[in-house]
Amino acid sequence: MAAASSDVIPDERSCPGGCRYEPKWDGFRAVARVDEHAGVHLWSRRQRRLNTAFPEIVMAVFDMLPRGTDETP
């Protein structure tokens, strides 16, 4: 999640599951995960839970992403 400068944007297929890019202006970066029980987990790169700070994002993730979105081993 740490921002990095690049002269070229990697092809979308270069990441497992595809890649999405957006400019980082100001604010927060977060990772969202929907577990196999449809529980949404939103956290910062420093591993701080952000669910209570951004309930609208939690609901959007719940509505838009399927269960098991992040299959971490």
> Among 19-23, 28-32, 68-72, which stretch is predicted with the lowest mean pLDDT?
68-72
List the one residue out of 38, 28, 40, 34 whose CA is nearest residue 1.
Answer: 28
**Domain extent at residue 70:** 28-73
As given in the structure block, the two tokens for residue 68 are 């098991």
pLDDT digits (tens, 9 = 90+) for 30-64: 888 888 888 899 998 888 999 999 999 999 998 98
Residue pair 62/38 in contact (Cβ under 8 Å)? The answer is yes
pLDDT at 1 over 90: no
Note whether residue 52 is domain-resident: yes
Rounded to whole angstroms, the Cα distance separating 57 from 40 reads 10
How far is it, in rounded angstroms, from Cα 54 to Cα 13? Answer: 30
Give a yes or no: residue 56 inside a domain: yes
pLDDT tops 70 at residue 14? yes
Task: Using the Cα atoms of residue 10, residue 12, residue 16 and residue 19 in order, give the sign of their dihedral.
Answer: positive
Q: What is the pTM of this model?
A: 0.57
Confidence of residue 17 (pLDDT cuts 50, 70, 90): confident
Total of domains in the chain: 1
